[in-house]
Amino acid sequence: MHPIIRLVNRNITISINPGFLIWQVIFPLIYIFVAGFAYTSLIDNVSFGNKSLTYPAFLASGMIGFNIMNSTLVSGIIIWNDRRHGMFEQIMSGPFTRSHYIISNIVTIAIVGLISAGLITAVGYPVFFESVEFTLITIPLIIFCSIIGAILFGSIASIISTRIRSSEGFNVIINTAFLFFAFVSTAFYPASGAPQPLATIFYLNPLTYLVDIIRAGIFGTITEFVILEMAVLVILASILFIIATKLLTKLDF
Amino acid sequence: MMNMSSIEVHSLSKSYNSILAVDGIDLNVKSGQVFGFLGPNGAGKSTLIKLLTTLIQPNNGKISILGINAIKQPLSVRKKIGVVLQQPSYEPTLTVEKSLEKYGMMWNVDKKIRKKRMEELLASFELTTIRKKRNEDLSIGQRRRVQVAREFMHDMDLLFLDEPTVGLDPSARRKLLDFLKNKVKETGLTIFYTTHVLTEAEYLCDNIAIINNGKIITVNSPNELKKTFGKEKTIKIHVTSTIEELKKLLQEIPDCDIEEDGGIIITIHSTNSEIVLMNVLKILNQNNISIEDLSAVPTNLEEIFLKVVSDSNASNN
C-alpha cells in the first residue's frame, strides 16, 4: 500500500468520531430544515442566474459548500493534534516524507469533503429538487468544488496550525476565520439583499465562489462569471497550497 | 553480524543559532548490541538522535546508518529503523489496541501479522487489561508503555530509544529492559539507548558512550569504564570511638575522612585504598578501637559518569 494511502487511512480513523459527525451532518441538517423553512417567511424567493429559487433550496445548496469548508477543519486539526501530541515527529521518523504527510492531509479532507457534499446533496435533494437541473457537468462540478475547496480551505487550516502552538490560540483563530468565511458569504443569504459594502466583501471570500459554482452546477446556471470564479479558486488554492507546503516543510522538530 | 556497523558517524556537527549542540562527533556502533548513550541534560543526546534518525540535517559530517548514507537517503534509512522519541507521542482518541493496529498498518505490516503481533505486545507490555482504553485516558506510564510497544509492531534492524523508561515504575522498567535484552538476543537487533538512569545502562548496554557539551568523552563497555575510571575505591568503616580521638589518630593518613552519621564512620577514598585500609586498621588495633562494620562500596556507573562529566567540565573551563 502506498505511504499516502496508509496515512489517509490513519487520518480518517483518527478524525471520524461522534463529535465530528454531529458537526458535519446534524448541524447542516438543522440549518437546511429548521432555518431554511423558518426563514422562508422573511426571505422570499431568491434570484440565482435566470432562476428563482425557494430560500430552503438556496440554503441547502449553500450548505454543500459550507460543509466542504467545514470538513477541511479536519486538516488543521490533524496537523495541530499531531504536533501537540508528538505524532508529527513520530511520523516523520517513520517511512514517510513531508510530501506524503501534506498530500495525505489534502486527500483526507477531499474525501471527507466529497462524502460530506454527497450527503448534503442527497439529504437536501427533496428541498431543491423542483429547481434542480442536472446536466453532465453537475457531478463533475461538485467534485471539482470538493477538491478545490479541500485544497483551499485545508491549506488555510494547515497554515494556521503550523503557526499556532497553544490550544486556545488555535481554537480562537480557526473559529474566527471559519466563522468569517461562513457568514460573510452567499452560503446562507444572497448578496443581492445585502448592503453594497457587505456584498462586495462577500466576493472577497472564496466560500462565495465555491457556493456559486455548486449552485451553478445544481441549478444549471453556468455563466462566464462562474468560469471566472472557478479560475480564481484554482489560482488561490494553488497559492495557498504552496504556502502551506512551504510552512510544513520548514516546521522544526 | 557483530562485526558490521549499524551506525558510523564522522566529524558530525550541528549548531542552533551559533550554539554547537553536537561538536565534531565520531562514533561507531556495531550491529547486534545495545549501545548506551549517556550525558547530562543539554549535552547533545537528543540532537544526536534527531540527526541519526534523519529528523534534522547536520551542518557538517557524515552519517551512515545500516550502510546507507543518511544525509542523501533519509527515507531509505527511516524504512529500516524504529524510533521511540523522548517526548510522548500518541493519538488521543484511539484505544490502545487500535493504536498498535494502526501503527502496524502505517508501517505496511500484513493484517494477519499485525493482529498476531498486537496480541503478543499487549501481553508482553501488560496492556491487555487496558486495551480498550483511549490513549487520552491513560496514565503517563501506561502511555509510555504503549509508545514503546507500538514500535515493535514493525520489523527493523536498528532501534533508537530516547529515555524510554521515563514515567515507568520499577517493575515495568525492569520488564522493558528484559524485553529489549531478549529482542537483541533473538533477532540481532541493534539498540541505541539514551537514559539518565545509569543502573539501566549498566544492566542493559554492551557499550556506553558519555557525551558532554556536544562531544563524546569516552566509549567503552561498562566493565572497561569501571576499570578505567573506577580506580578510586571507597571503603567505609563504622567504629566505636569519638571524632576528636580518631581525627588525632588518623591525621597522618591521607585520603581518609571521618564523619558522624548515627555513629562514627571512617571513609577511605583512594586509588590505593587497600594500603590505606591496612594502615587505618593497624592504628585502630593499636588503640583498641573496635570495628562495628566494614564495607567496600562498589564502583558504579553513576560515580564514573559524574567523574567523567566533572573532569570534562573542568578541562573545558
User: Which of A9, A85, A86 shows the shortest C-beta gap to B105?
Assistant: A9
CA distance B197 to chain A (A): 23
pLDDT at residue number A70: 84
CA distance A1 to chain B (A): 7
User: Whole-prediction pTM value?
Assistant: 0.81
Give the best residue of A1, A93, A108 to mutate against chain B (max B CB count within 10 A).
Answer: A93
DSSP element (H, E) containing B208? strand B207-212
What letters, b where the CB count within 10 A reaches 16 and e where it falls short, cover B78-89?
bbbbbbbbbebb
Lowest model confidence (mean pLDDT) among A195-199, B4-8, B35-39 = A195-199
Of the pLDDT bands very low, low, confident and very high (cuts 50, 70, 90), residue B17 is: confident
Chain B residues lying within 8 Å of A6, measured CB to CB = 105-106, 108
User: Which of A14, A95, A96 shows the shortest C-beta gap to B91?
Assistant: A14
Binary contact (A95, B108; C-beta < 8 A): yes
pLDDT digits (tens, 9 = 90+) for A5-37: 999 999 999 887 777 777 777 778 887 888 777
The single-letter code of the amino acid at A45 is N
pLDDT at residue number B259: 83
pLDDT digits (tens, 9 = 90+) for B279-308: 888 888 888 888 888 887 767 777 777 777
User: Which of B56, B78, B106 shows the shortest C-beta gap to A6?
Assistant: B106
Chain B residue with Cα closest to A100: B75
pLDDT at residue number A137: 84
Binary contact (B85, A86; C-beta < 8 A): yes
Could you tell me which residue, B217 or A47, shows the higher pLDDT? B217
User: Which of A86, A92, A97 shows the shortest C-beta gap to B87?
Assistant: A86
Is residue B2 over pLDDT 60? Answer: no
Is residue A132 over pLDDT 70? Answer: yes
| For residues A200-228, average pLDDT | 90
| For residues B55-63, average pLDDT | 94
Separation CA B192–CA B220 (nearest Å): 14
Angle at which helix A206-219 crosses helix A55-71, to 10 degrees, equals: 130
| CA angle A47–A51–A52, rounded 5-degree value | 50
Binary contact (B98, A13; C-beta < 8 A): yes
Q: How far apart are the first and last CA of chain A?
A: 27
Binary contact (B89, A89; C-beta < 8 A): yes
pLDDT digits (tens, 9 = 90+) for A167-183: 788 888 888 888 899 88
Is residue B309 over pLDDT 60? Answer: yes
Binary contact (A10, B105; C-beta < 8 A): yes
pLDDT digits (tens, 9 = 90+) for A40-68: 777 778 888 778 888 888 888 888 888 88
Contact indicator for A209, A233 with CB cutoff of 8 Å: yes
Q: In what order do the strands lie in the sheet with B5-16?
A: B19-30, B5-16, B60-65, B68-69
Give the best residue of A9, A85, A100, A249 to mutate against chain B (max B CB count within 10 A).
Answer: A85
Q: Which three cell numbers stand for residue B305?
A: 559518569
Separation CA B53–CA B83 (nearest Å): 7
* Contact map slice: B 40-59 vs A, CB within 8 A: 50, 53-56
pLDDT at residue number B317: 66
pLDDT at residue number A209: 94
Binary contact (A93, B85; C-beta < 8 A): yes
Chain B residue with Cα closest to A82: B91
Is residue B28 over pLDDT 90? Answer: yes
B314 touches A at CB < 8 Å: no
pLDDT at residue number B222: 85
Sequence-separated (6 or more) residues with CB below 8 Å from residue B280: B237, B250, B253, B256, B266, B268
**Residue B161's beta-bridge partner residues?**
B84, B193
pLDDT digits (tens, 9 = 90+) for B223-244: 888 777 767 777 888 888 888 8
Of the pLDDT bands very low, low, confident and very high (cuts 50, 70, 90), residue B3 is: low
pLDDT at residue number B314: 75
| For residues B56-71, average pLDDT | 95
CA distance B84 to chain A (A): 8
pLDDT digits (tens, 9 = 90+) for B134-164: 999 999 999 999 999 999 999 999 999 999 9
| For residues B54-70, average pLDDT | 95
| For residues B204-218, average pLDDT | 92
Binary contact (A253, B56; C-beta < 8 A): yes
The single-letter code of the amino acid at B28 is N
**Torsion angle defined by CA atoms of residues B298, B301, B303 and B309, in that order, rounded to the nearest 10 degrees:** 160
Of the pLDDT bands very low, low, confident and very high (cuts 50, 70, 90), residue B179 is: very high
Sequence-separated (6 or more) residues with CB below 8 Å from residue B35: B7, B29, B190, B191, B192, B193, B205, B206, B207, B208, B209
Q: What whole-number percentage of chain B has pLDDT above 70?
A: 97
Chain A residues lying within 8 Å of B98, measured CB to CB = 13
A99 touches B at CB < 8 Å: no
Q: For this complex, say whether ipTM is above 0.90.
A: no
Give whichever of A67-76, A133-142, B71-80 has the largest mean pLDDT: B71-80
pLDDT at residue number A113: 81
Give the best residue of A5, A89, A90, A100 to mutate against chain B (max B CB count within 10 A).
Answer: A90
Is residue A75 over pLDDT 90? Answer: no
pLDDT at residue number A45: 80
Of the pLDDT bands very low, low, confident and very high (cuts 50, 70, 90), residue A233 is: very high
Is residue B7 over pLDDT 70? Answer: yes
pLDDT at residue number A126: 79
